[in-house]
Structure 1
Amino acid sequence: MSDARRATDPPAPVPPRTVSLDGRVREAYVPPLVPRAPRGSLADLPYENAHQAPDDVAFSRKRPDGVWEDVTAGRFAAEVHSVAKGLIAEGLQPGDRIAIMARTTYEWTLLDFAAWAAGLVTVPVYPTSSAFQTRWILQDSGAVACAVEGMDEARVVSAERRQIPGLAHLWVFGTGAIDKLRRAGAHVPDEAVTARRGLLTPDTIATLIYTSGTTGRPKGCALTHANFFAEVDNAVEFLHPVFRSLIKEPTSTLLFLPLSHVFGRMVAIGCIRARVRIGHAPSIEDDDLLTDLAGFRPTFLLAIPYVLEKVFNSARATAERMGRAASFDRASKVAQRYGEAREAATPSLSLKAARAVYDQLVYRRIRAALGGHVRHVVCGGSPLGQRLSAFYAGAGIEVYEGYGLTETTAAATVTPPQRPRAGTVGWPLPGTAVRIADDGEIWLKGGIVFAGYWDAQHGQAVPYTADGWFPTGDLGSLDEDGYLRITGRKKEIIVTSAGKNVAPAPLEDWLRAHPLVAQCLVVGDNRPYVTALVTLDQDGLAHWRRMRQKDHVSLADLTRDPDLLAGLQRAVDEANRLVSRAESIRRFHVLPGEFSERGGHLTPSLKLKRRAIARDFSREIDAMYRD
């Protein structure tokens, strides 16, 4: 992207138009910032970038020696083209489904665009998926080919292959699959790829992304090229400070969230659309990710709250080990006050001065942990919480929270630049309308809403209302300015034996931000009061042990340790301030292990499988209701 393009600010976003009924705001709508794509597909993006700016850096790839090597737009387009020819040479036909089962790597993005250039439909599969999940997705989608990262994933697919008769190809990135495809396609004429691209329209299905399956068998969401154009084009214009650098440093991001998830995928496509330099980080282990952030030095990140919570808690733990916990806590309070004051009005001179002092002592270390150049974070998945959002804003990192689903091609709402509002997930993305139904359910409409659920035999199942709204299953409210607040899931609402409705999400999100807490499940359906199961964060627990010289204490004994339980009780008391007495957590139980995807208690996107947890820990839950 040229400097002139980066320096051009689009007009300020238009505030939502709202509709009220019975004294409540029931609808909010923001007009689109860009027109609907009239023709073409995502397959055209690499070719357009190569034509308009062939020497611009599109990617940086980490070599085995740790050096980041740049890939230009021209080179990326050439690689997409050669791999697309290989897919055609292997006999894949327009509309065929190809699955990708890998971590967040350059090869993932390359094959995604090559598949589109060959007229195919891509089907992401989490590399952590079980054999059953993998088999179901490959069977249901009718995939004829599957590309996996390494031999572990290849063994999972191979073990199920007898039950997937339509799967004709299995390629492994780690054994040179990309190079093999290039060689296979060497004899295919360039015109064959051009012809395949010409078959695609905005309404062609681009991908089938399967939902996490918190309550049952995953469903394939059919997202079109038009869905992605509506999402990324409006997001790029709306979040112009994120995607368009107004200083000399070009914009860049390091992708580390799974590309199997619609959030990571959308940002990857948006970056290619906006010509933002991209890096891939396959490992989110603390040391690996911090090393990659330091080497790549992104200007913005997409993250889930867990990542920002870990950065904050790790910084606090480091300060405590150095005997500077009190100083860090003061800096944290100053950052929070500054962030809150900036939202409400101009911060006072004394607050600005205090922030300047702590910027050198504390905040720059927070920014350094994210690579040193990050100024914006797009955060989704679950609410970050007012405390951390204000803290990061005060520390010089603007957090844009959003809300969306796989069915809405990621974000349906997002925090407007320079207009944050604590406790909300922002305005409707331009081109999107939000309605609050009579029972409080959030309904959505717009170009980002998917084509329907995949059903190869009977056609796409379209779960819309009679007048074209998509019911999300989430509960929320709109304020007078069109900001959306999420209050819970319809299926997760707890109804106590006294008839009190309790939304567990706010309590769980608050507790999860505590350095000792990994996950929390609030329960109480048909019970006299609300309780919670808590799992311990291993890094936070290790630090707690060191600081209190309890390294010798077994994990089982720690779950009953008075000091640890007292600290967790204080966190529970803080969370209970969010709700009424009838909704508050009366008792909690600490589990010795963590909820995990392998154990069947978390989805690949780290959502709680409530039914499975309640079933497997029924004895512990029952014990909290005994006198």
Structure 2
Amino acid sequence: MNLAEAIIHKNIEKHPLKSAIGFKKKEGWKELSWKKFGDMVFKTANALRDSGIQEHDNVAIYSDNSSEWMIFDLAAMAIGAVTVPIYSTNNAEQAEYIINDSKAKAVLVGNQAQYDACFELLNKEENSLQTIIISKKAVWIKKEFSSFYLEDFIAKASPELEICKKEYEDTATLIYTSGTTGTPKGVMLTHGNFIKAFDAHFEFFTFKNFEEELSLAFLPLSHVFERSWSLLCLYGGARVYFLEDPKNIAKALEEVKPTMMCAVPRFFQKVYAGVLDKAQEGSSLKKKIFDWALRTGWETAELRRNEKQIPFGLKFKESIADRLVFSKIKERMGGRLWFLPCGGASLSSEVTRFFESVGIHVTVGYGLTETTATLTLFPLTHFEHGTSGKPLPGVELRIGESDEIQARGNGIMKGYYNKPEETQKVFTEDGWFKTGDAGKIDEKGNLIITDRIKDLMKTSNGKYIAPQQIENLLTNNNYIQQIVLIAEGRQFVSALIVPNFEFLEDYRKKNNVPFTNWEEFVRKEEIIHLYKDKINALQHDLSDYEKVKKFILMPAEFEINTGEITPTLKVKRNVVLKKYADLIEKMY
């Protein structure tokens, strides 16, 4: 079955007038009903077909999140074409590589820089690109036969469409890996990968009244996590609102008031650390109330997790804790969030326990682009904090050589586009996908991630260091934004630390610390001692060989456009280690 058909036809038949998607227009949020959403998808599909796009052709999307992004995605799939997402933060060179490698014939762009980058491609030899479609009229286009505003592109197209029939094994999308190591590869995911994965999620969770849920898409739709989650929500008939600029997430949460939303660990760490910092700043009475509320919340959360009855007295105490403390935390997140899938990296048990105590279920999961996002995740009850949950129905896991997690099942990719040798490398002879991550499975069937096999470090003393776990521990503190551990072949662990400049600015004002610029500020003895104290406190329970002995505070954040981090905020360890090699050597 075609994924576009599975989403659009089913929901138009069930509730044509119910809202399907939402988007910001000027200062207010607007919605499209399922009927109008379907009409837009079908008009776009017909316009693509009229422009010469045929079944099996590749078409790219190089844009920020928007309703047009999702409409174009489903439209391409509806005519049997293959969608190729490009991160909106990718530069012209990176976008050119993906368009050329995929041989995309058309591209949807969202802003001027994206348009200009694609327009340059049209004039190059051996270029497959024929048509550029622009979602916003604010973009200035050169009046050429190849450039069209989306509104004009679909103006004369029919809203009636016979969706292209697809088999489960037919490719639906090419998602290029973000390239933390090596050249990006196009992961081929099929219509069946998505549909079977979505069905497995609904079997796993048995949601009640899922059609009444509202999700806010703020992570990049170009990444498999947000794309899969948003498509799953639409597949199940829920509403999805699209946030174009993730920096506006705090305001959007209050305006949209979502009930569900997927997020990366840093989002939860920042909320957690921010709440704890604020609690510490309060009076002794407020601190006592906060601590009591957390203990009460934790007690009830544990009973719910194990599906045990909550005594009346404890329920009463929980209602007071909610009124005094938890409701204020939840209001800052819109007031209605209850279900938050978390992926991209591991999340410490302290953070998941905190959110459960507050009354928000963080569903920690594990997966890759190559596995259509989810392999494992927390169920609604009987999950284990500190793990990555249990396999979805239809997913099998085993632990191979070097403790590598291997998988097979519904979501496993078809392979890497035009790279048979690379594809062969990641599959065992008996057909299991090799994730490249190390882990173990506990006696209850929960997956526990150790680290990326390539990231495991061995000190000169022969001790193995799993950097992700230590980095997660240290970034649970609100004074640390990003961190990169160094240990391979060294006599001790050191780190490059990017401070959270927002909180450092608050510290500076409260303590009247003189300021010229950040370069000078992070070198001050007072600031270095501040971070030494915080790091020593945070790593108190680590083994001595795992502790950070020396560190350097960076004067600026690692950036996407410099290639230091991926669009999903994962640090490109090799890039950072090479770029700051001289700085690192000074610590040894």
TM-score (norm 2): 0.91
What is the aligned counterpart of 2:496 among 533, 537, 540?
A: 533
Aligned residue in 1 for 2:59: 98
What is the aligned counterpart of 1:255 among 217, 228, 237?
A: 217
- Local SS of the residue matching 1:300: coil
Q: Following TM superposition, by how much is the alpha carbon of 1:315 offset from its aligned partner in structure 2, in angstroms?
A: 3.9
The answer to whether 1:197 aligns with 2:164 is: yes
Q: Contact 1:258 / 1:264 at 8 angstroms: preserved in 2?
A: yes
- Local SS of the residue matching 1:290: helix
Cα distance between partner residues in 2 of 1:587 and 1:350: 50
Aligned residue in 2 for 1:6: none
What is the aligned counterpart of 1:608 among 547, 567, 571?
A: 571
Aligned residue in 2 for 1:300: 260
**Distance of aligned partners of 1:535 and 1:336 in 2 relative to their CA distance in 1, 3 Å threshold:** farther
Q: 1:42-81 counterparts in 2 under 5 A? A: 42-66=4-28, 68-81=29-42
The answer to whether 1:224 aligns with 2:190 is: yes
Q: Contact 2:272 / 2:354 at 8 angstroms: preserved in 1?
A: no
Aligned residue type for 1:178: L
Unaligned runs of 5+ in 2: 138-147
Q: Deviations over 1:413-446 (max 9, x none)?
A: 0001112211101001111011011320000110
The answer to whether 1:590 aligns with 2:553 is: yes
Aligned residue in 2 for 1:400: 363
- Local SS of the residue matching 1:107: helix
Q: Following TM superposition, by how much is the alpha carbon of 1:562 offset from its aligned partner in structure 2, in angstroms?
A: 4.1
- Local SS of the residue matching 2:68: helix
Aligned residue in 2 for 1:183: 155
- Local SS of the residue matching 1:227: helix
Aligned residue in 2 for 1:35: none
Aligned residue type for 1:240: T
Aligned residue in 2 for 1:156: 117
The answer to whether 1:116 aligns with 2:77 is: yes
Question: Which deviates more, 350-359 or 478-487?
Answer: 350-359
Cα distance between partner residues in 1 of 2:288 and 2:126: 59
Cα distance between partner residues in 2 of 1:443 and 1:525: 25
Aligned residue in 2 for 1:245: 209
Cα distance between partner residues in 1 of 2:512 and 2:364: 39
What is the aligned counterpart of 2:327 among 359, 364, 383?
A: 364
Q: Following TM superposition, by how much is the alpha carbon of 1:355 offset from its aligned partner in structure 2, in angstroms?
A: 4.4
Q: Following TM superposition, by how much is the alpha carbon of 1:266 offset from its aligned partner in structure 2, in angstroms?
A: 0.5
- Local SS of the residue matching 1:174: coil
The answer to whether 1:146 aligns with 2:107 is: yes
Q: Contact 1:60 / 1:70 at 8 angstroms: preserved in 2?
A: yes
Q: Following TM superposition, by how much is the alpha carbon of 1:372 offset from its aligned partner in structure 2, in angstroms?
A: 0.8
Q: Following TM superposition, by how much is the alpha carbon of 1:358 offset from its aligned partner in structure 2, in angstroms?
A: 3.3
**Distance of aligned partners of 1:532 and 1:360 in 2 relative to their CA distance in 1, 3 Å threshold:** same
Q: Following TM superposition, by how much is the alpha carbon of 1:230 offset from its aligned partner in structure 2, in angstroms?
A: 1.6
Cα distance between partner residues in 1 of 2:585 and 2:245: 38
The answer to whether 1:497 aligns with 2:457 is: no
- Local SS of the residue matching 2:262: strand
Aligned residue type for 1:215: T
Q: Following TM superposition, by how much is the alpha carbon of 1:207 offset from its aligned partner in structure 2, in angstroms?
A: 0.2
Q: Following TM superposition, by how much is the alpha carbon of 1:383 offset from its aligned partner in structure 2, in angstroms?
A: 1.6
What is the aligned counterpart of 1:547 among 479, 495, 510?
A: 510
Q: 1:345-364 counterparts in 2 under 5 A? A: 355-364=318-327
Unaligned runs of 5+ in 1: 1-38
Aligned residue in 2 for 1:7: none
Q: Following TM superposition, by how much is the alpha carbon of 1:548 offset from its aligned partner in structure 2, in angstroms?
A: 2.4
Aligned residue in 1 for 2:337: 374
- Local SS of the residue matching 2:406: strand
Q: Contact 1:41 / 1:201 at 8 angstroms: preserved in 2?
A: no
Cα distance between partner residues in 2 of 1:439 and 1:347: 44
Q: Contact 2:105 / 2:129 at 8 angstroms: preserved in 1?
A: yes
Cα distance between partner residues in 1 of 2:311 and 2:41: 53
**Distance of aligned partners of 1:413 and 1:542 in 2 relative to their CA distance in 1, 3 Å threshold:** same
The answer to whether 1:291 aligns with 2:251 is: yes
**Distance of aligned partners of 1:484 and 1:71 in 2 relative to their CA distance in 1, 3 Å threshold:** same
**Distance of aligned partners of 1:491 and 1:346 in 2 relative to their CA distance in 1, 3 Å threshold:** farther
Q: Contact 1:219 / 1:453 at 8 angstroms: preserved in 2?
A: yes
Cα distance between partner residues in 2 of 1:271 and 1:486: 27
Q: Contact 2:495 / 2:548 at 8 angstroms: preserved in 1?
A: yes
TM-score (norm 1): 0.86
Q: Deviations over 1:117-138 (max 9, x none)?
A: 1211000000100222111111
**Distance of aligned partners of 1:340 and 1:135 in 2 relative to their CA distance in 1, 3 Å threshold:** same
Q: Following TM superposition, by how much is the alpha carbon of 1:330 offset from its aligned partner in structure 2, in angstroms?
A: 2.5
Question: Which deviates more, 231-240 or 87-96?
Answer: 231-240
Question: Which deviates more, 170-179 or 515-524?
Answer: 170-179
Percentage identity across paired residues of the two chains: 30
Aligned residue in 1 for 2:378: 415
Cα distance between partner residues in 1 of 2:436 and 2:425: 15
Cα distance between partner residues in 2 of 1:352 and 1:563: 46
Aligned residue in 1 for 2:136: 174
Aligned residue type for 1:245: N
Q: Contact 1:55 / 1:73 at 8 angstroms: preserved in 2?
A: yes
Question: Which deviates more, 555-564 or 147-156?
Answer: 555-564
What is the aligned counterpart of 1:508 among 445, 453, 471?
A: 471
Larger relative contact order (Cα-Cα within 8 Å, sequence gap ≥ 6): 1
- Local SS of the residue matching 1:303: coil
Q: Contact 2:294 / 2:358 at 8 angstroms: preserved in 1?
A: no
Q: Following TM superposition, by how much is the alpha carbon of 1:480 offset from its aligned partner in structure 2, in angstroms?
A: 0.4
Cα distance between partner residues in 2 of 1:563 and 1:329: 30
**Distance of aligned partners of 1:51 and 1:353 in 2 relative to their CA distance in 1, 3 Å threshold:** closer
Question: Which deviates more, 308-317 or 465-474?
Answer: 308-317
Cα distance between partner residues in 1 of 2:184 and 2:336: 38
**Number of residue-to-residue matches in the alignment:** 574
Q: Contact 2:20 / 2:37 at 8 angstroms: preserved in 1?
A: yes
Q: Contact 1:339 / 1:393 at 8 angstroms: preserved in 2?
A: no
Aligned residue type for 2:259: T
Q: Deviations over 1:208-251 (max 9, x none)?
A: 0000101111001000000001211111232334xx338xx921
- Local SS of the residue matching 1:522: strand
Cα distance between partner residues in 1 of 2:318 and 2:193: 42
Q: Deviations over 1:447-506 (max 9, x none)?
A: 110000000899975731111100000000100010001010111110111111111000
Cα distance between partner residues in 1 of 2:5 and 2:495: 48
Q: Contact 1:403 / 1:414 at 8 angstroms: preserved in 2?
A: yes
- Local SS of the residue matching 1:171: strand
Aligned residue type for 1:181: F
Aligned residue type for 1:542: E
Q: 1:381-396 counterparts in 2 under 5 A? A: 381-396=344-359
Cα distance between partner residues in 2 of 1:590 and 1:369: 31
Q: Contact 1:339 / 1:391 at 8 angstroms: preserved in 2?
A: no
Cα distance between partner residues in 2 of 1:124 and 1:92: 17
Cα distance between partner residues in 1 of 2:452 and 2:37: 42
Q: Contact 1:44 / 1:197 at 8 angstroms: preserved in 2?
A: no
Q: Deviations over 1:278-330 (max 9, x none)?
A: 11111111xx2222222211111111111122233444555567768735863
The answer to whether 1:440 aligns with 2:403 is: yes
**Distance of aligned partners of 1:457 and 1:178 in 2 relative to their CA distance in 1, 3 Å threshold:** farther
- Local SS of the residue matching 1:111: helix
Q: Deviations over 1:366-392 (max 9, x none)?
A: 111111111111111112211111111
Aligned residue in 2 for 1:278: 240
Cα distance between partner residues in 2 of 1:278 and 1:328: 37
Q: Following TM superposition, by how much is the alpha carbon of 1:346 offset from its aligned partner in structure 2, in angstroms?
A: 7.0
**Distance of aligned partners of 1:391 and 1:533 in 2 relative to their CA distance in 1, 3 Å threshold:** same
Question: Which deviates more, 476-485 or 320-329?
Answer: 320-329
Q: Contact 1:336 / 1:388 at 8 angstroms: preserved in 2?
A: no
Aligned residue in 2 for 1:25: none
State the superposition RMSD in angstroms.
2.5
Cα distance between partner residues in 1 of 2:296 and 2:416: 44
Cα distance between partner residues in 1 of 2:454 and 2:331: 41
Aligned residue in 1 for 2:141: none
Question: Which deviates more, 323-332 or 362-371?
Answer: 323-332
